[in-house]
């Protein structure tokens, strides 16, 4: 049985601290055209509204920069992803930055409100800050907290105003369910650049982490066993892949926040293919390609395209 895949393109980069990730989805599509791949012509292509105009004016929310724009992205992704899933299409989201991931997860939960959702977060960063703990105010560091209904007031370092507080509450409640994912249903892979506030909440909640060292020593199959065991009681699984999970010396620095000592492109591809083969996996998101920062002339997009092609082939034929 062939699965219908829909690529959902999100070019909004309002949650990152660097500019250029809005060009990431097109860089991947350009890489496909250069290669002679027809993957984006052979599958349905859809997009959400670009709200990068928020970058052209000051934000009123220093501890949740452009949260008002992000709320609209969450709401549209919630609607689009939910609709795709209800129509038996498999969404593969190609997004500029990682801040919108909470909207994707909201859509998955809206489509299946009674299902238990697991998440595999392949990233150099934990993305579990909140407006109360963020050192930068950049919301690509907060998507997980928004769908896990976390404030982390135990580690509060910021006093936020009432308007920010209300927008954060609305963001967490997109889709009408505040807690979309439980801590027991989360697995981090390759996370290696965290702040003390994140480390505290990860330890407090007991979130599972598979390190780069584990993958290097034991292999991808061993990591898959850990993931499957941790998420065995989940009905559906969401997989997100931030390209900064890879070692920048082995891929490129074509991403906003590269971190040394990541997984290899081959390890990333194998892991993503095997997660795509899992029939519980219902949605995949790939983020943070930034061709403006690529010192190797679109190498990050080309590596990412290779992963996208492999994942798509697995999903369509599983």
**Proportion of the chain above pLDDT 90, given as a percent:** 99
What's the rounded Cα separation, in Å, for the pair 11 and 26?
Answer: 9
Over residues 47-61, the mean pLDDT reads 97
What's the rounded Cα separation, in Å, for the pair 234 and 131?
Answer: 29
Query: Which band of pLDDT confidence, cut at 50, 70 and 90, is reported for residue 2?
Result: low
Which tens digits make up the pLDDT trace of 59-69? Answer: 999 999 999 99
Over residues 280-292, the mean pLDDT reads 98
Mean of the per-residue pLDDT values of the chain: 97
CATH number at 35 reads 3.40.800.10
C-beta contacts of 160-166 below 8 A and 24+ residues apart: 160/63, 160/64, 160/131, 160/132, 161/61, 163/60, 163/61, 164/61, 164/63, 164/64, 164/67, 164/131, 165/131
Whether 219 and 176 have beta carbons less than 8 Å apart is answered as no
pTM of the model as a whole: 0.97
Whether 192 and 212 have beta carbons less than 8 Å apart is answered as yes
Over residues 194-213, the mean pLDDT reads 98
Which tens digits make up the pLDDT trace of 113-134? Answer: 999 999 999 999 999 999 999 9
Question: Whole domain around residue 222: which residue ranges?
Answer: 4-317
Which tens digits make up the pLDDT trace of 150-162? Answer: 999 999 999 999 9
Residue 102 has pLDDT above 60, yes or no: yes
Instruction: Tell me the angle at which helices 265-277 and 220-230 cross, rounded to the nearest 10 degrees.
Output: 40
Which tens digits make up the pLDDT trace of 231-248? Answer: 999 999 999 999 999 999
* Confidence at residue 3, expressed as pLDDT on a 0 to 100 scale: 86
Number of structural domains the chain divides into: 1
Over residues 202-224, the mean pLDDT reads 98
């Amino acid at each position: 049985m062939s699965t219908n895949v829909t690529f959902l393109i999100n070019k909004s980069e309002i949650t990152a601290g660097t500019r250029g990730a809005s060009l990431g989805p097109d860089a991947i599509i350009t890489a496909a055209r250069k290669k002679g791949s027809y993957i984006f012509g052979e599958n349905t292509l859809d997009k959400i509204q670009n709200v990068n105009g928020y970058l052209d004016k000051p934000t009123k929310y220093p501890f949740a920069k452009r949260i008002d724009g992000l709320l609209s992205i969450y709401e549209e992704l919630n609607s689009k992803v939910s609709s795709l899933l209800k129509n038996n299409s498999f969404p593969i989201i190609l997004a500029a930055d990682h801040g919108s991931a909470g909207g994707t997860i909201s859509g998955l939960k809206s489509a299946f409100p009674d299902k238990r959702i697991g998440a595999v977060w392949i990233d150099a960063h934990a993305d579990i800050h909140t407006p109360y703990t963020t050192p930068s105010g950049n919301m690509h560091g907060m998507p997980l907290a928004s769908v896990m209904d976390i404030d982390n007031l135990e580690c509060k370092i910021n006093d936020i105003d009432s308007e920010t507080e209300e927008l954060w509450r609305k963001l967490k409640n997109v889709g009408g369910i505040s807690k979309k994912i439980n801590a027991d249903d989360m697995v981090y892979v390759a996370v290696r650049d965290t702040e003390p506030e994140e480390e505290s909440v990860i330890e407090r909640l007991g979130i599972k982490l598979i390190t780069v060292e584990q993958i290097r020593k034991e292999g991808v199959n061993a990591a898959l066993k850990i993931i499957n065991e941790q998420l065995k009681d989940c009905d559906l699984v969401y997989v997100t892949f931030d390209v900064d999970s890879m070692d920048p010396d082995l891929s490129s620095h074509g991403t906003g926040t590269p971190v040394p000592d990541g997984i290899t492109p081959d390890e990333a591809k194998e892991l993503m293919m095997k997660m795509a083969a899992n029939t519980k996996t219902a949605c995949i998101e790939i983020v943070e390609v930034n061709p403006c920062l690529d010192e190797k002339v679109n190498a990050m997009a080309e590596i990412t395209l290779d992963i996208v092609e492999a994942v798509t082939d697995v999903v369509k034929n599983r």
